Amino acid sequence: MSSFKLSNFFAGDKFLWSLYGIFATISIVEVFSASSSLGFHSGLYKPILGHIFIIIMSVILMIFEVRALSKRNMRLILALVYLIGTVLLLLLPFIGVSINDANRWMRIGGINIQPSEIIKIGMISVGAGLMCRMNKNAPCDSNSTDPQEILKQKEFDDERRKLTYYYFLLMFIPIFLILFQNFSTAFMLGGFTFCFALIGNAHQKVVGKIFLITVIVGLIAGIALMSLPEKSLEGFGRATVWRSRIESKLQRFTDKEAADSAKFVINDDNLQEKHAFIAIASGVGLGVGAGHSKERFILPQAYADYIYSIIIEEWGIPGLLLIPFLYLVFYFRIDYLARQTNFAYFKNVLFGVGFLFVSQALVNMTVATGILVTGQTLPLISRGGSSYVMTSLSFGVAIAVSYIVEKKKRMDNQSADSSSADQKENLILGQAPLEGEEKLIKEDDC
């Protein structure tokens, strides 16, 4: 009877599992501290117990996910996630629930679900699959003068151009649906879409054309946002909120005197930003210590969008440096795993997961500088329900890929050992090796 090993439950890359454990530990400590203000209404331990429950459920789902996903079913399952996320986004304006003046959530079975979090991993998979097809059967020599090679190159370029248009269409549909209720998420996903296209070697002329069109449309929309009367903006989600935030930022450059006098004024418009600055300023050196933050009682969303400010206040410079360092370690580990497989779809999925969530973390951390007011959570650290679960499952997709690659390597090694033994036997018997016997199973590009 085999002895029980906890590591048997955590299949796949143990480094990623350990990193997830570090993120979860930091999350529990900081959410317990930052959510103290919620304890006044619901009891001291209720918020953190709820968060721990979410983390435990996420881990259980990840354990099953890693073993359930395979090379055959992963693309289909994640395509279904994309479809479900898109349908929920379509329904959001009609059955959505408004929280903190934003209609971003849906209540299903008594649980608040954020469709924009569900769609992220679906978008990564759809984009990865299309980019895989874009680069399939690429001509070996693009500079060849042979007529047949030139014809192949033209056919390849035409197919890649068409698939690039499909890519942007499928990526922009959910972005447009998210736009009016959650501009920061739509903006981040838009930036990710263009960067992912460049990483995946999409048709450069098409990417450039769509980028130019997007910039022009964005400029026109920005001019309309700043020039139209406020009443005419009321039907466009949170457009009036965007306008007030932009005006507040522009005032720093257009009216120096007003900007200087406003430095020491705290009002409803700058409450979060100012108290985030105060939290950071309080964390000089080694910080005030875990659980000793003062700004957690004043700073709205201290346990979500502004948890990085609380980490700096409590942990000081070590906390300031540790959090981005962990995300960079995560990205470089993802990059390492991507290089371990020849399967293009897996490579693209890994790069997508790494790039999107590290980008989200970096965007969140710009709140501390006052450059952006993002509305983005810090992945795997901020308190959250569906956002924490979906980020964990996206993390689980990366671990599942590592598990599939690991199993493939074991099979190849066994096949190589078997082939070597057969060759030795053939040499002893004086027989020639069978055709193809020396070759390992070739991994399909897509």
Q: Kindly indicate the confidence band of residue 303, based on its pLDDT and cuts at 50, 70 and 90.
A: confident
- What pLDDT score was predicted for residue 371? 64
pLDDT per residue over 156-195, tens digit each?
888 899 999 999 999 999 999 998 778 888 989 999 999 9
Confidence (pLDDT) at 66: 93
Take residue 193 and report the two structure tokens written for it.
């879409």
CA atoms of 233 and 68, how far apart (whole Å): 47
Written as six digits, the tokens of 231 are 């009443």
What are the residues whose beta carbons fall under 8 Å from the beta carbon of 98, sequence distance 6 or more?
Answer: 105
d(CA 379, CA 230): 34
What is residue 113's three-state secondary structure? strand
**pTM listed for this prediction:** 0.84
Band (pLDDT 50/70/90 cuts) for residue 137 is low
- Strand order in 111-113's β-sheet? 96-99, 102-108, 111-113
Of all residues in the chain, the percent with pLDDT exceeding 70 is 76
Of 123, 122, 118, 114, nearest to 77 (Cα)? 122
Map residue 98 onto helix, strand or coil.
strand
Rounded percentage of the chain residues whose pLDDT exceeds 90: 40
Which range among 107-121, 234-248, 309-323 has the greatest average pLDDT?
309-323
pLDDT at 422 over 60: no
If 0-12 CB within 10 Å is exposed, 13-18 middle and 19+ buried, where does residue 248 land? middle
Q: Tell me how crowded residue 418 is: count the other CB atoms within 10 A of its CB.
A: 11
Whole-number Å distance between alpha carbons of 80 and 70: 15
Do the Cβ atoms of 242 and 183 come closer than 8 Å?
yes
Cα separations in angstroms, 78 against 59, 70, 152, 178: 19, 11, 32, 19
Q: Which two tokens stand for residue 386?
A: 């569906």
User: Stretch 307-313: mean pLDDT, rounded?
Assistant: 91
Mean pLDDT in residue range 259-268: 64
DSSP-assigned beta bridge partners for residue 296: none
Q: Given this model, what pLDDT does residue 435 score?
A: 45
Least confident of 138-147, 275-284, 369-378, 430-439: 430-439
**For the CA atoms of 193, 196, 197, 201, what is the dihedral angle to 10 degrees?**
180
pLDDT at residue 426 above 60?
A: no
pLDDT attached to residue 26: 95
Q: Is the pLDDT of residue 289 over 50?
A: yes
> Which amino acid, residue 295?
E
DSSP readout, 389-434? HHHHHHHHHHHHHHHHHHHHHHHHHHHHHHHHHHHHHHHHHTPPPP
141-173: b (≥16 Cβ within 10 Å) or e: eeeeeeeeeeebbeebeeebeebbeebbebbbb
Whether the pLDDT of residue 427 is over 60: the answer is: no
Mean predicted lDDT score pLDDT of the chain: 82
Task: State the pLDDT confidence band at 205, using cuts at 50, 70 and 90.
Answer: very high
Q: CA 337 to CA 328: how far, in whole Å? A: 14
Pairwise CA distance, residues 225 & 228, whole Å: 6
Asked whether residue 87 carries a pLDDT value surpassing 70, the answer given is yes
Q: How confident is the model at residue 417 (pLDDT cuts 50, 70, 90)?
A: low
Residue 44 DSSP symbol: S
190-198: which pairs have CB atoms within 8 A and are 24 or more residues apart?
Answer: 190/214, 191/359, 192/355, 192/356, 192/359, 193/123, 193/127, 193/168, 195/355, 195/359, 196/124, 196/127, 196/131, 196/351, 196/352, 196/355, 197/127, 197/131, 197/164, 197/167, 197/168
Q: Helices (DSSP H) in 69-136: which residue ranges?
A: 74-95, 115-134
In a 10 Å sphere around its CB, with 0-12 CB exposed, 13-18 middle and 19+ buried, how is residue 202 labelled?
buried
pLDDT, position 99: 67
80-104 average pLDDT score = 83
Residue 438 has pLDDT above 60, yes or no: no
Hey, which of 35-39, 252-256, 283-287, 370-374 has the most confident mean pLDDT?
A: 283-287
Contact 334, 354 (CB under 8 A): yes
Question: Length of the chain, please?
Answer: 446
> CA-to-CA distance for 127 and 164, rounded, in angstroms?
10
3-state secondary structure of 156: helix
